[in-house]
Structure 1
Amino acid sequence: MQTFAIRRKSNWKDTAELSVTAGVSARVGNEEMPDQVRWIRSYVVREDDGRLGTVCIYQGEDADAIQEHARRVGMSADEIVLIEDTVVVREDPVNQMASVA
């Protein structure tokens, strides 16, 4: 599998809506397309219009599989970019909300 970054712009009005989509995304990936796509992580961003978007890291057999996953879930894949390599300077910081739980 190859690694991709996917930009999803202004797909959700709030974190509750995003959470519902995340559940569908995980189910579709794990149950319907387990040999084609693998969700690694997502970074949630606040868009200029106030809605939420994401930058997601996925593994997939190709960009078409990533696009098909997004279609089945009902979310955009505004930009799909093949990741050539990874350079980790520091691990991702722990989200404040996650550290409270």
Structure 2
Amino acid sequence: MQLYVIRRPSAWASLADLEMAGAKSARIGNDEMSDQLRWIRSYVVHEPDGRIGTFCIYEAMNGEAIREHARRVGMPGEEFYPVATTVIVRPDPAEAVPA
């Protein structure tokens, strides 16, 4: 499988909408397409228009698997890029756990 970055700009109105889409995405990826792609992680961003967007990291057999997964979930999936290499200066910071 190839590693991809998928850009989903301004795809959701709220974090709650994203959460629902994420649950559906995980279910479809794990239950229906596990031999074609794997969701690794997503970076969620606040877009300039006030909506929510993401940069998602997936492993996939090919771009068609990414498109098909996005179609089944009902989210954008046309803007994706194969990863050439990864440069890690520091690992992602751990989220603070409330005391």
> How far off is 1:14 after superposition?
1.1
- TM-score where L is the length of structure 1: 0.92
Between 71-80 and 34-43, report the one with greater CA deviation: 71-80
> How far off is 1:78 after superposition?
4.1
Equivalences, count: 99
Q: Supply the distance in 2 between the matched residues of 1:74 and 1:25 (Cα, whole angstroms).
A: 9
- TM-score where L is the length of structure 2: 0.94
Q: Supply the distance in 1 between the matched residues of 2:2 and 2:35 (Cα, whole angstroms).
A: 12
Unpaired stretches in structure 1, ≥5 consecutive residues: none
Q: For the aligned residues, what is the CA RMSD?
A: 1.3
Tell me if structure 1 keeps the 8 A contact 2:67–2:77.
yes
Could you list the runs of 4 or more consecutive aligned residues of structure 1 that deviate by over 3 angstroms after TM superposition?
Answer: none
Q: Which residue of 2 aligns with 1:27?
A: 27
Unpaired stretches in structure 2, ≥5 consecutive residues: none
Tell me if structure 2 keeps the 8 A contact 1:9–1:78.
no
Q: Which residue of 2 aligns with 1:87?
A: 87
Tell me if structure 2 keeps the 8 A contact 1:40–1:58.
yes
